[in-house]
Structure 1
């Protein structure tokens, strides 16, 4: 038999970071169906002897090629996870059922509902509580040795599709898994940036509910193009975050965060400093501009709503002295702080901040 030629995508391999355990899980699917994985391993350029070394890693390209070959050879996009096959094109159907949604919230609800038509072995749920949205997976049958790979891959499917659909990175508040940390636990933050909790009640991730209101920015033509190479969405990170600017603003509004460094802001948002500066620039902003905006708004509020002196306010909003604060405030508003306060008090009928709480309702 002629040996399969390596896939051309291997010519530009990335850093090997995908655990060999995930390749072993794919081979478990082959065993379930009594199929031979030799062709897929050869196409992906994976030496079978690597499977004897738990610490071994493969590249994202190798994982993509191996997964795609296995899905087609086994005619099962679930790779043996469930009690029935999910034929090639099943998850593409879920994408098509969701792409016409007005926003991400509706798209994810449709995804959960339509996934039940494919299999009832696992239950997908989207729950909202206050400012937190939770996407969770609840197996309804034992998944055995495929449990970890199934839960990790399904969450990456959903996260990758959601980011692609709204053309934005989704900052995760936390990702949870209902099993102990595996030997390759260090890989998880690469797949799910942000805090990762093991031994949790259920698998899932949480994020800011504001992402749910973002509109779907893709159409059928874009979907057809994406589905030609959809698997990279399960291993690669989306770079742009359409809520990043607001996330920075929210962080800086905390009284003790006004002077935060770029490193502190980036750590809070689970991005690198380089990514923080690049994405802010893409949105037509900068960290210094957002700091200035936050200081300005805080200063205006204190001038309008308190009886603190200009000197006290200058210190509260992070200025070294009253002179530099006055100079900056004049640049922001065209008026020095005291003139701003007097003008606004006059507009309120000459009342002082202490009197505002006693004014009769109009």
Structure 2
């Protein structure tokens, strides 16, 4: 929900409360979730909200930069990239395109020791970094490059110039490669061999990409190599079982001690990942199915619905029934 809060920040300052509520409703998100910092929304709700805010503001970057990025900008950016011979040339054109639009930051591209680094550099001292704006720009760099090439481009690392957020695990999951914070500049480092690759994309392929935006460039590439992602993949088919960290350690061929240390490096823990997976499954099914709370509790490995309800309220600040009613009331 923190991403939704950041998407709505400019709208909250420039639009009426009713417009805000209507925009949330259009995305199928209960307005009551705004008061619940740990609430979760589904991927479909995220995409729907992004599109709704962009349309309302006529700004494809949701008011996150010093000037609006008008509707159609992504289309003309992508059209300008289709005839480039390599990803490297496309990225150079991407940088020049954005530097015509951004006032407070500029994109800079550099090559060194087999790595292509694209960074956001403040045009003047004291520029305030918007976490979602910087995150979306790095996702756009990687997502557009990966779509052009037809496969995921390798990422060496991603760095952000703002402080490590409380919801760091979402950044670790969304960005392939290592993620760090408190850097001098926000940047993404791509593999030079991938960037030197040629590609061929046709206009008719572009229309589907644009229609689905921002889904393809936000979610197509995620950090499947992170320990949290590997843990979720291990736990999901076993979610009904009382899986212990020792079983995960054996499956990954590491000691429990090393596993615990690696979880800490990603800013999370085994039980937290397990709870987040159960929470996300619960949110999805409460939003998209008519399964009873009792059946959902059983499927998620809880001894009874009362225990599940207490856990869900602790995770989201809302009971499962109220969460479902809020979501359905917006449809």
Shorter-normalised TM range: 0.5 to 0.7
Q: Does 1:187 align with 2:189?
A: no
Q: Which residue of the partner structure matches residue 84 of structure 1?
A: 67
Q: CA deviation at 1:140?
A: 3.0
Secondary structure, counterpart of 1:58 in structure 2: coil
- Which residue of the other structure, out of 206, 214, 226, is the alignment partner of 1:231? 214
Partner Cα distance (1:163, 1:129) in 2: 21
Structure 1, residues 128-178: CA drift from partner, whole Å, max 9, x if none? Answer: 00211111112336665x700100011111211110000011121111011
CA distance in 2, matches of 1:83, 1:207: 27
- The equivalent position to 1:72 in structure 2, one of 55, 58, 61, is 55
Contact 1:163/1:169 (<8 A) preserved: yes
**Contact map agreement 1:33 1:74 (CA 8 A) in 2:** no
- TM-score, normalisation: structure 2: 0.63
SS at match of 1:124: strand
Are 1:107 and 2:107 counterparts? no
Give the equivalent residue in structure 2 for 1:163.
Answer: 146
Task: Identify if the C-alpha distance between structure 1 residues 34 and 43 changes in structure 2 by more than 3 Å, giving closer, same or farther.
Answer: closer
Structure 1 equivalent of residue 7 of structure 2: 26
Q: Distance in 1 between matches of 2:219 and 2:67?
A: 28
- Partners of 1:150 and 1:112 in 2: CA distance: 16
1:210 maps to 2:193: yes
1:357 aligned residue: none
Distance in 2 (CA, whole Å) between partners of 1:138 and 1:57 is 32
CA RMSD in angstroms, aligned pairs only: 2.3
Listed as ranges, the gaps of 5+ residues in structure 1 are 1-19, 240-261, 265-362
Size of the aligned set, in residue pairs, is 224
User: Is residue 2:51 matched to residue 1:54?
Assistant: no
Q: Where does residue 279 of structure 1 map in the other structure?
A: none
Contact 1:77 1:85 in 2 (8 A): yes
Deviations 1:184-220 (A, max 9, x none): 0011122102211111111111122101111123111
1:211 match: secondary structure: helix
Contact 1:175-1:205 within 8 A present in 2 as well? yes
SS at match of 2:157: strand
Deviations 1:2-33 (A, max 9, x none): xxxxxxxxxxxxxxxxxx12111121121343
CA–CA separation in structure 2 for the residues paired with 1:55 and 1:29 = 21
* Residues 44-91 of structure 1: CA deviation (Å, up to 9, x unaligned): 111122222222221111111001011111101121122322111112
Structure 2 counterpart SS, 1:155: helix
CA distance in 2, matches of 1:90, 1:32: 24
What TM-score results when the alignment is normalised by the length of structure 1?
0.58
**Gaps spanning 5+ residues in structure 2: where?**
223-250, 254-331
Q: 2:156 aligns to what?
A: 173
In structure 1, how many angstroms separate the alpha carbons of the residues matched to 2:127 and 2:167? Answer: 20
Equivalences for residues 1-362 of structure 1 within 5 A? 20-35=1-16, 36-140=19-123, 144=128, 147-238=130-221
Structure 1: distance between partners of 2:180 and 2:22: 36
In structure 2, relative to structure 1, the CA distance for the partners of 1:30 and 1:52 (3 Å cut) is same
CA contact 2:107–2:121 (8 Å) conserved in 1? yes
